[in-house]
Amino acid sequence: MAVKDEAPVPVESGKMARIELLERRIRAANAQRTLYGSVLAGKLAMHQTDLECLFIITLGTDVTPGQLAQETGLTSGAITGVIDRIERAGYIRRVRDTGDRRRVFLEPVWPRIEEIRAINRRANRAWLDELARYSDAELDVLLDFADRNYHAAINATVALRKEPARKPRGKD
């Protein structure tokens, strides 16, 4: 299914129209990636939240349960359950900090992580082929954009968490 655009953006339409179109396409891609994550989690017999937390763990260094809870917004009890399930599945192990035995790091089990990456490489072959069409300079721009987009998403998530929740309609 193609992303619905109200109309093609004419070259002379201006920067704001292009930014709005880019934002729409990013939202569409994000929705599709969320659906992809759900299917992947199912194939791995995992909860989608567990898989997303695993991705966060693999992207960080010296990730602690507290940091994972903070980044995801999950409670410490919920994070403990997530970590227990991921560890039982063999994707991470808890490693005590040698400098402070009270602190625990969540260490990826890289051979198991590579199994997931192999699935992603097969499933995302067309995506990788598309990226290979870009020059090194263009890839640098895309990398810069991805970094800025990621940090903006983190900031938006933090800001949204601080806002009060809305009451369901019809409830006072």
My answer on whether 135 and 104 are in the same domain is no
128 within a domain of the structure (yes/no): yes
Task: Give exposure, 54-92, as e/b (b: 16+ Cβ within 10 Å).
Answer: beebbeeeebebebbbebbebeeeebeebbebbeebebb
Nearest Cα to 60, choosing from 48, 43, 49, 72?
Answer: 72
Query: CA 86: distance to chain centroid?
Result: 16
Nearest Cα to 30, choosing from 50, 15, 52, 14?
Answer: 52
pLDDT tens, residue by residue, 25-41: 999 999 999 999 999 99
pLDDT tens, residue by residue, 81-96: 999 999 999 999 999 9
166 within a domain of the structure (yes/no): no
My answer on whether 63 and 40 are in the same domain is yes
Which string of DSSP letters, residue by residue, matches 152-166? HHHHHHHHHHHSPPP
Owner of token pair 């790091």:
105
Q: Which range of residues forms the domain containing residue 141?
A: 124-160
150 within a domain of the structure (yes/no): yes
14 within a domain of the structure (yes/no): no
My answer on whether 76 and 24 are in the same domain is yes
Confidence at 76, pLDDT banded by 50, 70, 90: very high
Minimum mean pLDDT range among 83-97, 99-113, 155-169: 155-169
Could you tell me if 71 and 82 are in contact, meaning their C-beta atoms sit under 8 angstroms apart? no
My answer on whether 86 and 143 are in the same domain is no
Name the pTM for this structure.
0.77
Domain count along the chain: 2
